[in-house]
């Protein structure tokens, strides 16, 4: 029986690495798959992991139709046993519905990988629908760590070094690779934090500044 599986974790928990490993394992068994992503950290249509692995992928635009794509491919004689879907948090509700339909109607396995909640601590649209529909949910066991050493469970966004909890949901970037925000004037970066430090807006940089300050600052 085919399944819709959702693998989730914070940034830095190794989702893209596992997506590529999953593809490798199934391909090694002679199965035929397709890899999808959207807004990858490299800005190209490929799945790239922080460990340096990359694989070409099909870019999922907002109007991309998974059902149409697979049916057209099968009609043209292609064989598709499974789909690997990275950055699935950015997919639309409708696209997740299409993935579930492919599992049920065409017995195609779908392995979706994505972050659960955004920097405002709200569920991403794609992730919400996956939680609602997935046959199985897997929380990644590689734990990302907050600067304090605790398990990082929340994603923080900083703009010009200041943590924000409001704004457009989709701005792609890395902590290491700062890039221009939607307004074009802010340096947007992401960082994983434990819940307590997310709640207190205490990023690694701010914690460092606080530890270097002569007087403890009243935060909280």
110 or 194: CB nearest Zn ion: 194
Question: Could you say which of 194, 198, 203, 206 contacts Zn ion (CB under 5 A)?
Answer: 194
At 76, is the secondary structure helix, strand, or coil? coil
Choose the catalytic residue: 3, 59, 87, 159. 87
By CB under 5 A, the count of residues binding Zn ion is 5
Question: Minimum distance between the CB of residue 153 and Zn ion, rounded to whole angstroms?
Answer: 9
58 or 145: CB nearest Zn ion: 145
Question: Minimum distance between the CB of residue 204 and Zn ion, rounded to whole angstroms?
Answer: 9
Token pair of 111 as six digits: 């392995």
Taking CB under 5 A as the binding criterion, the range among 11-19, 100-108, 150-158, 210-218 that sits at the site for Zn ion is 150-158
Token pair of 41 as six digits: 């950290």
62 or 219: CB nearest Zn ion: 219
Interface with Zn ion, residue 195, by CB under 5 A: no
Could you confirm whether 87 is annotated as catalytic?
yes
Residues 33, 37, 41, 46, CA torsion sign: positive
- The whole-angstrom separation of Cα 219 and Cα 155 is 20
154-170 burial, b for 16+ CB within 10 Å, e for fewer?
Answer: bbbbbbeeebbeebeee
Interface with Zn ion, residue 148, by CB under 5 A: yes
Interface with Zn ion, residue 144, by CB under 5 A: no
Task: Pick the closest to residue 58 from 30, 80, 76 (CA basis).
Answer: 80
- The whole-angstrom separation of Cα 190 and Cα 35 is 25
Interface with Zn ion, residue 146, by CB under 5 A: yes
Interface with Zn ion, residue 210, by CB under 5 A: no
Question: Minimum distance between the CB of residue 207 and Zn ion, rounded to whole angstroms?
Answer: 8
Interface with Zn ion, residue 169, by CB under 5 A: no
How far CA 139 is from CA of 5, 7, 170, 198, in Å, comes to: 11, 6, 22, 20
Question: Minimum distance between the CB of residue 191 and Zn ion, rounded to whole angstroms?
Answer: 11
Interface with Zn ion, residue 200, by CB under 5 A: no
Q: Beta strand pairing status for 33-37 and 58-59? A: parallel
- The whole-angstrom separation of Cα 40 and Cα 131 is 22
Q: Catalytic amino acids? A: 87
Name the residues that contact Zn ion, by CB under 5 A. 146, 148, 150, 194, 197
């Amino acid at each position: 029986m085919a399944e819709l599986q959702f693998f989730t974790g914070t940034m830095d928990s190794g989702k893209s690495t596992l997506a590529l490993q999953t593809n490798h394992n199934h391909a090694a068994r002679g199965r035929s798959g397709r890899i999808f992503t959207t807004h990858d950290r490299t800005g190209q249509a490929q799945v790239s992991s922080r460990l340096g692995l990359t694989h070409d992928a099909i870019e999922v635009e907002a109007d991309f139709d998974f059902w149409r794509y697979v049916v057209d491919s099968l009609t043209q004689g292609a064989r598709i046993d499974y789909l690997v879907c990275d950055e699935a948090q950015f997919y639309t509700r409708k696209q997740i519905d299409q993935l579930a339909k492919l599992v049920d109607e065409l017995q195609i396995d779908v392995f979706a990988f994505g972050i659960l909640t955004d920097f405002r601590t709200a569920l991403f649209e794609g992730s919400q629908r996956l939680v609602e529909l997935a046959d199985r949910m897997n929380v990644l066991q590689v734990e990302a760590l907050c600067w304090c050493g605790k398990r990082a469970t929340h994603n923080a966004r900083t703009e010009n070094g200041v943590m924000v909890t409001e704004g457009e949901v989709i701005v792609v970037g890395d902590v290491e690779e700062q890039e221009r925000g939607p307004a074009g004037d802010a340096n947007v970066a992401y960082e994983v934090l434990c819940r307590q430090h997310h709640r207190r807006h205490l990023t690694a940089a701010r914690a460092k500044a606080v530890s270097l300050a002569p007087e403890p600052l009243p935060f909280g």
